[in-house]
């Protein structure tokens, strides 16, 4: 297994090895992700967790990616 200094690099490696994944959302209370992953990232409050606010952000990301890939088979 390859060790990565950032979880963003781990995600990039995983996505590169799984081209069948069309959409993804990163949900975390810490931001150690790559620049190109920021548009897929929803940061939660470590004291509150996942709230309706984060749910709405996730839904927007999903809808955006679905629209961008609507002709993708």
Could you count the other beta carbons within 10 Å of the beta carbon of residue 3? 6
Beta-bridge partner residues of 54: none
By percentage, how much of the chain surpasses pLDDT 90? Answer: 75
- Confidence band, pLDDT 50/70/90 cuts, at residue 70: confident
Tens digits of residue pLDDT in 2-23: 555 689 999 999 999 999 998 8
- At 71 the pLDDT is 66
Q: How confident is the model at residue 1, as a pLDDT?
A: 47
- Phi, psi for 33 (deg, rounded to 5): -110, 165
Q: How confident is the model at residue 72 (pLDDT cuts 50, 70, 90)?
A: low
Q: List the structure tokens of 71.
A: 């002709």
């Amino acid at each position: 297994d390859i060790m990565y200094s950032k979880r963003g690099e781990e995600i990039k490696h995983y996505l590169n090895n799984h081209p069948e994944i069309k959409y993804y959302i990163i949900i975390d209370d810490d931001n150690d992700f790559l620049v190109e992953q920021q548009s897929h990232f929803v940061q939660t409050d470590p004291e509150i967790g996942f709230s309706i606010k984060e749910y709405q952000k996730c839904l927007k990301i999903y809808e955006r990616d679905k629209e961008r890939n609507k002709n993708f088979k």
